[in-house]
Amino acid sequence: MPTQAAELVFDDATKVYPGRDGAAVDHLSLTVPAGEICVLVGPSGGGKTTALKLVNRLIPLTSGYIRIDGRQIGDYDVTELRRSIGYVIQQVGLFPHMTVEANIGTVPRLLGWDRKRIHARSRELLELVGLDPDTDRRRFPSELSGGQRQRVGLARALAANPALMLMDEPFGAIDPIVRTRLQDEFLRLQQEIRKTVVFVTHDIDEAIRVGDRIAILRQGGRLAQYDTPQRILEQPVDEFVADFVGRDRALKALALRTLGELELAKPDGADGLPRLPQETNLRDALATLVAEHKNALLVLGPDGSPLGVATREDLLG
Amino acid sequence: MTGFRVAGGGPVIPNFGHVNACLKHNGWFCTAWVHEHWGDTLQPALIQHIKLTVIAVGIGFVIAFLLALVGFRWRFLHAPIGALSDFLYALPSIALFELLLPVTGITTTTILIPLIAYTLFVLYRNIVAGLDGVSAEVLESARGMGLTRRQTFFKVELPLAVPAIMGGLRVVTVSTISIATVAAFLIHYGLGAPIFDALGQPDIFRTELVAASALAVLLALAADGLLAVLQRALTPWNRVR
């Protein structure tokens, strides 16, 4: 699959709804580098969804600019713009009267692809999102579970290989267990396809899990902080951000690092220590130490061989 | 116009030349009579009735569809169009047939105009309801993917309205078959003709009454069944649950 991604720039982007006091999005300026996931997060009334919909012009800008790879969105033909951007919403919005394959082929058909190419593309995408290209493609949305529908929604958004994806609470309506799995799969997928993604959520934990960068918006659509998850957790710029990320932000920061990233002591005399694989995150490792009343643990390599010992102090850095 | 007779005239006295016990006692269903008069009475009436129904529902559907496009596109016209279709539906059918008689004469047009008018009420409201019934998230994803307004209508809204449209067509077809029999009170045409002939006899000719009524009921059931099959074929996504 060809890799392409666009840089997205919000430049003083402002949205004021007529007849309403104050802005929904207030002079928002931020740059999403090509191939990165930017999560817009914040309380309701923070303008996250409005900011997202400004990009594909579902909502018109009041003032300021939004540029995709340097070109202003206003310079595109609006349907051409939307067809070149993948769009995923919480309720998925699959067409109930079309099969999975026809749903995925929506934008390619609009772009005039031939049937063979559309068919091949939908097979490829079904495989990519973890569905069965042979059986699932003929099914109708009413025959799918919520998680499967959201996978089809994602495949449909990716169909024409857009350089930019807009995702509006894509996993918001899915139960927590499936949501975590979809988040993991989405991140694995992103490793492969490297799209520029704008991802809206109200859930700070999801933002931390998914985002390369997080933009925290506060009431009135003002940007509070735009940073990596690590820096947001370790250096919140003000009370509002600190409150929003929560009292357990130190623990959340631990969850971003794994045992494999630590410098380990030699695995001598490690008998009786808890054993954990190196991809375990530091938060889970610490929880294990607390639960087992131990002060150190043995880190295992991919083949199960001992790599070294990490102490409680090592985990807490 | 040939083939038309004002109701009440016509040779309908059963042929008492034959000695048929059933007919003699005015039985409820004498197969001998049905057999003998299938070709000259019942079959032509049935065919006329089918013609009336197909033409009335067909023209009614075209008019209702065009009105629904207008009412759907320009919302402020929806209420007035709906009110007009309500008004037409509320007119007593016999009165309407009678009123039209001096204008359009003893023709099928006189029967068709009221029949068409009655279809509009159900069809118009069902078509608009079907188009309105498409969920907001489906419309938003269509817009977000870059479908134009026209593409959204033809590829999304219209196909999703098919179940409601077909539902309306089924109701209207059955009710048209029923109302069309009443028209024979004035114009001797369709399955109503043998019914009124039978009622016109001093004793009520039971066999003809029952046979013609049964045909009307069977026609309605067959038409409804046919449309149900068509509906299933048109909406494969609705079958799976």
pLDDT digits (tens, 9 = 90+) for B146-173: 999 999 999 999 999 999 999 999 999 9
Work out the pLDDT band at B1, boundaries 50, 70, 90: very low
What is the C-alpha separation between A52 and A29, in angstroms, rounded?
A: 13
What are the chain B neighbours of A135 within 8 Å (beta carbons)? Answer: none
Q: In what order do the strands lie in the sheet with A71-72?
A: A25-32, A8-15, A63-68, A71-72
Please determine, for residue A160, whether its predicted confidence score (pLDDT) is greater than 60.
yes
How many Cα atoms occupy the beta-carbon half-sphere of A132 within 13 Å? Answer: 6
CA distance A166 to B17: 87
Contacts A–B by Cβ distance under 8 A:
72
CA distances to A50, A54, A81 from A62, rounded to whole Å, are 12, 10, 18
CB contact under 8 A, B237 and A80: no
Which tokens go with B25?
């006692």
pLDDT at position B13 over 60: no
Chain-chain contact of B160 with A107 (C-beta, under 8 angstroms): no
- b/e per residue A87-96 (b: at least 16 CB within 10 A): bbbbbbbbbb
Report the residue from B146, B151, B240 with minimal CB separation from A140: B240
State whether A95 and B145 contact (CB < 8 Å): no
Nearest to B237 among A78, A80, A96 (CB): A96
The overall average pLDDT reported for chain A is: 91
Q: What's the burial of A266, exposed, middle or buried (CB within 10 Å: 0-12/13-18/19+)?
A: exposed
Q: What pTM does this model have?
A: 0.82
Q: Chain B partners of A107 at a C-beta cutoff of 8 Å?
A: 145-146
- Which chain B residues touch A79 with a CB distance below 8 Å? 146-148
Q: What is the mean pLDDT of residues A212-241?
A: 93
Confidence (pLDDT) at A53? 96
Q: Shortest Cα distance from A170 to chain B (angstroms)?
A: 12
Give me the phi and psi of A171, to 5 degrees please: -110, 15
**Would the CB atoms of A95 and B142 count as touching at under 8 Å?**
yes
Query: Which residues in B lie closer than 8 A to residue A170 (C-beta atoms)?
Result: none
Least confident window among B30-34, B172-176, B235-239: B30-34
Query: Would an 8 Å CB–CB cutoff place B150 in contact with chain A?
Result: no
Per-residue pLDDT reduced to its tens digit, A26-75: 999 999 999 999 999 998 888 999 999 999 999 999 999 999 999 999 99
Closest partner CB to B160 (pick from A80, A96, A143): A96
- Could you give the 3-state DSSP secondary structure of residue B213? helix
Q: For residue B120, how many other CB atoms are within 10 A of its CB?
A: 23
Residue-wise pLDDT for B64-102, tens only, equals 999 999 999 999 999 999 989 888 888 888 888 888 888
Q: Give the ipTM.
A: 0.83
CB contacts under 8 A, B 51-110 vs A, are: none
Confidence of residue B19 (pLDDT cuts 50, 70, 90): low
B145–A contact, CB cutoff 8 A: yes
> B-chain residues within 8 Å CB-CB of A143?
240
Report the alpha-carbon angle B168-B173-B179, nearest 5: 120
Contacts of residue B163 in chain A, CB cutoff 8 Å?
none
Asked if B159 has any chain A CB less than 8 Å from its own CB, the reply is yes
Element (DSSP H or E) covering residue A41 = strand A37-41
Question: Residue B89 has what pLDDT?
Answer: 86
